[in-house]
Amino acid sequence: MSDLRGRLLADEPLAPFTWFRVGGPAQALFTPADEDDLAYFLARLPADVPVYTVGVGSNLIVRDGGIRGVVVRLSSKGFGEITAEGDVVRAGAAALDRRVAEAAAKAGIGGLEFYFGIPGSIGGALRMNAGANGHETKDVLVEAKGIGRDGQKLTFANADMKFVYRNSGVDPSIIFTSASFRGKLAAPDAIRAQMAAVQDHREASQPVREKTGGSTFKNPPGQSAWKLIDSAGCRGLRNGGAQVSEMHCNFLINSGNASADDIESLGEQVRARVKAHSGVDLQWEIKRIGVK
């Protein structure tokens, strides 16, 4: 691939790129220079090489044995631009949700305040249908752009994203590269006040300064995962260096020197206890990738 402009590194640690700070290396880590570079790379990479995309790792456990194949990580240099025009905000997939909310507020575009408290990137928000405070990505997305495993550039209208609660039905091989969102024109001060309220609520109720992966399990229809976990007696439960947060028991934390296995098996213990206590099968929201 003589014309490749991005960075391709072998056996690169991934733990520093995740909020949990655990997990093994990527067999290869590719940081494309821009969209064309990513398309060039994917078109030439043999079809049998697995490819996995990571955002800023705020919803991710990378297992201790690492990831075979190529991990693609978009950098803010090539994929971080945010622009606003009228009531539409456009953002590269590496832009942080928080920055998108700030740019929208500056341009007097309301409706994207919920992104202010979500610590992921736009790529992760598109894949996870990220949401908070009664709003989610599905409510504001106009269209997303992405690249297929064969290097084809594709555009997805909101309906094509097949959004469901904390997921998108788009083929997992698609790497999102940018998106546009429509909000409602509003006074920047009112938008900022709402963003501050979002932030205050979060700081008071979630362990946002810990090594964590956000909500571990999806809320089952009509129920709260945290209440089920709490009533099964799991608040504060420990496994090696991993712990169920005392502050918000749907959050697992790396309390120091946890392995990925400590965290994942603690999650499985919680699932088993909840199943035994209330009969509910909790489903992981956190993505777990790689080999044990």
Ligand X SMILES: Cc1cc2nc3c(=O)[nH]c(=O)nc-3n(C[C@H](O)[C@H](O)[C@H](O)COP(=O)(O)OP(=O)(O)OC[C@H]3O[C@@H](n4cnc5c(N)ncnc54)[C@H](O)[C@@H]3O)c2cc1C
Binding residues for ligand X, rule: CB under 6 A, are: 19, 53-60, 74, 93, 117-121, 123-125, 127-128, 130-132, 175-176, 206, 208, 212-214, 287
The nearest distance, CB 179 to ligand X, in angstroms, is 10
φ, ψ for residue 177, nearest 5 deg:
-115, -25
| CA separation for the pair 182, 84 (Å, rounded) | 10
Would residue 268 show up in a list of annotated catalytic residues for this protein?
no
Choose the catalytic residue: 178, 215, 245, 259: 215
Choose the catalytic residue: 63, 166, 271, 273: 166
The nearest distance, CB 279 to ligand X, in angstroms, is 26
Choose the catalytic residue: 102, 113, 210, 285: 285
The nearest distance, CB 133 to ligand X, in angstroms, is 8
Angle 97-106/188-205 helices, nearest 10 degrees?
150
The nearest distance, CB 277 to ligand X, in angstroms, is 25
Is the CB of 30 or the CB of 176 nearer to ligand X? 176
Is the CB of 80 or the CB of 241 nearer to ligand X? 80
Residue 174 class from Cβ within 10 Å (0-12 exposed, 13-18 middle, 19+ buried)? Answer: buried
Is the CB of 81 or the CB of 189 nearer to ligand X? 81
Angle at 92 between CA 91 and CA 97, to 5 degrees: 60
Would residue 166 show up in a list of annotated catalytic residues for this protein?
yes
The nearest distance, CB 118 to ligand X, in angstroms, is 5
The nearest distance, CB 236 to ligand X, in angstroms, is 18
| CA separation for the pair 19, 31 (Å, rounded) | 19
Is the CB of 119 or the CB of 183 nearer to ligand X? 119
Is the CB of 74 or the CB of 107 nearer to ligand X? 74
Neighbours of 27 (CB within 10 A): 16
Is the CB of 185 or the CB of 201 nearer to ligand X? 201
Would residue 136 show up in a list of annotated catalytic residues for this protein?
no
Q: State the catalytic residues.
A: 166, 215, 285
